[in-house]
Amino acid sequence: MKIVVCVFLVVAHGISTVSATDRSVVILVPSPSDDRLPPAKDAIAFWNQMLADVGSATRLLRPAVVFETPRSVENYARLIAQRVGRLPVPDELEPEIPSTLRNLNADIVLLLSGQDVMSYAWALPHTESDRYLVVIRKVRSLDRGDPMVSRHVVAHELGHTFGLLHNEDSHTLMCGPCQPLTAESDARGFLPLTAAERIYLLERYGTR
C-alpha cells in the first residue's frame, strides 16, 4: 500500500478565526466511471464527521459533480504544479486564473485531473473569498484500484483548505512525510488528526 501526498501548498500561517459557515464544493472529473470519484466523496464525508467530532460549526456541502473538465482548468493546474518548491513570485507574474475556474460557484474546486502531476491544494489568488483549487493527480499503475490511496490523498489535500499544514507525525493524515504501512487507521479507514490539529479546527471555525 502506498500513500502519496503533496509537499506544496499555499495557506495562511497562524490561527485567525473565520466565520462558521458551510463551504461549497465542485468536483471536476473526466467521467462517471473514474475510480477516484467514490473515494473523493468518502473524503468529504470524513471531513464533515471530523468537523462534527471536534464541535466545529463548519461543514462541506454535498458536492456538485461535473463530468467534463475544461481544458483551461487542466492547463492552469499544470502551471501551478510546475511551481512546486519555488519561491513566491510577484502578483503580476502569477498565472492568470481562467474564467472557467473563477466562475465556478464553489469555495473548493476539486479537480480529479487527467494529468500525472503532483497532488496539491492551492489558495486561488485575487479572489474575494477563501477559495481553493485542489488537484488530485491521475491514478498511476501502482495505485490503480486502491481506493484507500485516493481517499487519503483527497482527505489530506482537503485538510490544507482548512489551514492545516504538514506535521512531523508520520502516522497521521496530515503527515509529511508519511509511513502508511505502519500506521493504524480509525474505524472509518482514515488516518487520524493530531490533538493540536483538532484544537486548531475548533479555534479557527468555532462551534455551533
108-112 and 120-123 strand pairing: unpaired
Would you say 169 and 192 are in contact if contact means Cβ atoms under 8 Å apart?
no
pTM: 0.86
Asked whether 88 and 116 are in contact (CB, 8 A), the reply is: no
Per-residue pLDDT tens over the stretch 94-113: 789 999 999 998 999 999 99
- Mean pLDDT lowest for which of 71-80, 124-133, 154-163, 165-174? 124-133
pLDDT per position as a tens digit, 51-63: 999 999 899 999 9
Q: Write the DSSP string, 82-123.
A: TTTTPPP--GGGSPPPPHHHHTS--SEEEEE-SS----EEEE
**Sign, CA torsion 124/79/162/44:** positive
Q: How far is CA 133 from the centre of its chain?
A: 8
